[in-house]
Amino acid sequence: MSDYPVTIKRLKGQGIVRVAAKHNLREIAAEIGAAGHIDPARIHTNLILRGPASADEVTSNAKALMADAGITRQRVGSVMALELMFTLPPNTGVVIREYFEDATRWAARFYQVPVLSSVVHLDEAAPHCHVLLLPIAEGHMIGSDLHGGRTKLIAMQAAFQEQVRAHYGMARYAPAKRHSAAVRAEAMELARKYLNANYRLAGDVLAAILKPHSKDPEPLLLALGISMPMPRQSFVAIMTRPTKPEQRNPVRKGIANPIGKAQQSAPIMLPYPCVGKGSIEPLTNDPLQSETGITEPTSASTSPQTTEASVQLARAAHTQAADD
């Protein structure tokens, strides 16, 4: 039985409607009792919401509807019916009959085909309801089209959630992530060792006990008080695991003149022809600077051009004085 709130499957082949109805109406003796998963003491609590109480009558009704539509023969492997199964958790708080009545009415509206049978089972672990639909429209069997693929299945489940489950305060179902094959194998080995050590079980008996739990060993380990093993990552997976990128410019380097930081003055570059080319900084407290702020010339800073001009000025002054 599925854990999903609603599932659908195609029933193919001649006589499949009778087989499905016999199961739903508990007419298969081999399924009842110790050999099966049905509790015979609770069969009387099951509910028939639609359709007759016997599989033969359900089959007769299907044949009559097909004959009225002009369908007398079907290809081998044709879809003869669709079966929806609505499931509730074991300790549900909703009114079971009311919920499954709403689910059955929703199925008839959503698929727009006849409902052959709707039966609620309360004699198993969780309450659930089987709804048999006859996929017939305009004189044709359209089971494959109604069933569709994954896209239609997702749309169907979303519609049921919105139009039925949400009215009962039920959240959207999120299936649990399935354990990997390696984790399941390790879990089964833990269960095998535990049962062998504590109950002396071995061989075919132990294999028969473990086999039903191979696909989902977690409930078995929970019952035995053993924790599920954790998945292990390979060395390659660890080394190639995406990492968080480093923060760009963590100390704010490379920002020109940020606010609150004084900009340093650039050094003054002397022209290339000057003596002692390089750089100088502005002078402060220069002992050679006069009180008027004028710098006295020095021999190191006097150029040949300046000396020659001074001589010419002196000669001109001497000549002027002689003429006077």
Region at 61 (left for phi over 0; alpha for psi -120 to 50; beta for the rest): alpha
Domains plus CATH for the chain?
Answer: 6-168 (3.30.930.30), 181-238 (no CATH)
Pairing of strands 47-50, 115-121: antiparallel
Q: What is the pLDDT of residue 178?
A: 76
**Mean pLDDT confidence for 135-145:** 91
Distances (CA, A) of 251 to 125, 173, 255, 257, 259: 63, 48, 10, 14, 15
Rounded Cα distance between 6 and 100, Å, is 11
Tokens of 145: 């089209």
Query: pTM above the 0.75 mark?
Result: no
Identify whether the C-beta of residue 17 lies closer than 8 Å to the C-beta of residue 117. no
**Mean pLDDT confidence for 135-148:** 91
Rounded Cα distance between 232 and 227, Å, is 15
> Which residues are CB-neighbours of 289 under 8 A, at least 6 positions away?
283, 295, 296
Q: What is the pLDDT of residue 136?
A: 94
Q: Classify residue 79 by burial, with Cβ atoms within 10 Å: 0-12, 13-18, 19+.
A: buried
Could you give the 3-state DSSP secondary structure of residue 109?
A: helix
**Mean pLDDT confidence for 230-253:** 62
Q: What is the pLDDT of residue 205?
A: 82
Rounded Cα distance between 91 and 282, Å, is 90
Examine the pLDDT at 301 and tell me if it is beyond 80. no
Q: What is the pLDDT of residue 32?
A: 84
Rounded Cα distance between 168 and 93, Å, is 10
Pairing of strands 79-87, 279-280: unpaired
Examine the pLDDT at 16 and tell me if it is beyond 80. yes
**Residue holding tokens 């029933």?**
11
pLDDT confidence tier of residue 147, bands split at 50, 70 and 90:
very high
DSSP character string of 198-243: HH---HHHHHHHHGGGSS--HHHHHHHT-PPPPP---HHHHHTS--
Examine the pLDDT at 149 and tell me if it is beyond 50. yes
Across 32-36, 91-95, 259-263, 291-295, the highest mean pLDDT is recorded for: 91-95
Tokens of 89: 């958790």
Q: What is the pLDDT of residue 3?
A: 59
181-199 vs 203-210: helix axis angle to the nearest 10?
Answer: 130
Q: What pLDDT digit, counting tens, does each position of 33-78 carry?
A: 755 678 999 999 999 999 999 999 999 999 999 999 998 887 778 8
Among 97-106, 110-119, 309-318, the minimum mean pLDDT is found in: 309-318
